[in-house]
Structure 1
């Protein structure tokens, strides 16, 4: 963890901008977190970066829940949680065995696949206004597959946001329902990951000191996101979510 305590000014600035983007993504364009993930992984050792980023994400989740708590769709959440729990366990085992290069490549490939599937589905399916009927039709099998992928990717690289974004978009959620549901989902899931991260040595004293310095940057990002989301129409919102997913995924692939 020496790298964490010996950051240059430019490296800390990059991490601060990534923390700002975390706040923005939590209240505006979910999926943009993958860009923050790429920045953290570029500045810090890949495994260590996941431990530093997790408390930053939780801070963003708290702000998102406070902002959109009235818009959560709990039937969707209850449908996802069992599969997500299984994915988190699989991800923890994977982290014990895989090196950083394998982790990055695997996550990037999964995210690109999810983005491609979502674009295809939205071009071939009729748009729906109400999430309830669409979510019912998506079925338990789909919820399980996305849930396991989401749990796996969020455990190994804090990259579950794009997977869940693809699921919620494909289920027909509108902006506020999308943000409210994902806010509660990630607050609960990210808190549940803390014991695993501590046990794996990803969260320790030096990482928490860095978190304390970075968490303040999450707040202005979240406030800007809250302001911006009401000025983005639904179509542009969906395009931004998918674009952020693709950009973040490409950053994780080997160059």
Structure 2
């Protein structure tokens, strides 16, 4: 343990255990199993290191997971969704990089949480009257929600709900939806590298720590993908909406706790 502590951010067994649990949950999410698990990464790591270190450690781990997810979901994606959302996401990331020092993360998390809960509530009410027809593509909506996802992903690591607000009502086959989501956030995470590096978030210890976590990152991501590929649409979509609800509750709680604490 002393040898590991000298080269990584893991100073003791507690910090290493927290990292392993966080990476396992995030990996399940990156494989396609909802977004609630992904939000647990930074909070769990923050039990053993500073939130800034936790966020910096997770980004290279996320990139590893993205590479595995891209392979696991190769061939499954919707080109129109990416075309409509990625340009906005790039603008959102740029805006986040320029305003990160002035943007209250707690307020962003609170607002995203409210949006997520409102979205789930609306879908529940709509489905009370029976099945809801899939919504069509829209360049305007796609650019807007893609931009919100890029901005909130950079500022508060909470880009999932805004993207899902646009993508879930399109009603894709679960595999198409998951593969499209994987490509979107893989692109977002790659672009985030530039401003994160400019802000001095990476060092040798951070990158070495990420390398130690590589085997678990790969294994948990493949496990998440394997589970999702065996889910029927009538199981997948209620699961996803349930996950968004949990994400919304978590974000609202985090935002209110930080603002009122």
Q: TM-score, normalised by structure 1?
A: 0.85
CA distance in 1, matches of 2:44, 2:114: 18
* Alignment partner of 2:60 out of 46, 55, 59: 55
CA distance in 2, matches of 1:9, 1:233: 40
Counterpart residue number, 2:115: 113
Give the 3 Å change call, closer, same or farther, for CA 108–244 of structure 1 in structure 2.
Answer: farther
Is the aligned partner of 1:26 residue 2:43? no
| Alignment gaps of 5+ in structure 2 | 1-5
User: Which digits, 9 at most, give the CA deviation of each residue in 1:136-177, with x for residues without a partner?
Assistant: 2xx222212211110011112332123223321122223101
Q: Which has the higher contact order (CA 8 A, sep 6+)?
A: 1
Which structure has the larger Rg over C-alpha atoms?
A: 2
User: Which digits, 9 at most, give the CA deviation of each residue in 1:48-88, with x for residues without a partner?
Assistant: 32221111111111111111121111111011111111110
1:254, distance to aligned residue in structure 2 (A): 4.1
CA distance in 2, matches of 1:70, 1:122: 31
Over the aligned positions, Cα root-mean-square deviation in angstroms equals: 2.4
Counterpart residue number, 1:73: 78
User: Which digits, 9 at most, give the CA deviation of each residue in 1:165-205, with x for residues without a partner?
Assistant: 33211222231011110111111111111011000112222
Instruction: Decide whether the 8 Å contact of 2:112 with 2:161 is kept in 1.
Output: no
CA distance in 2, matches of 1:19, 1:7: 17
1:169-180 equivalence runs, <5 A: 169-180=168-179
User: Which digits, 9 at most, give the CA deviation of each residue in 1:214-240, with x for residues without a partner?
Assistant: 222112212221231134332432333
CA distance in 2, matches of 1:157, 1:51: 12
| Structure richer in helix, relative to its length | 1
Counterpart residue number, 1:167: 166
CA distance in 2, matches of 1:82, 1:152: 12
* Alignment partner of 1:86 out of 83, 91, 109: 91
- Matched residue pairs, number? 244
CA distance in 1, matches of 2:15, 2:242: 25
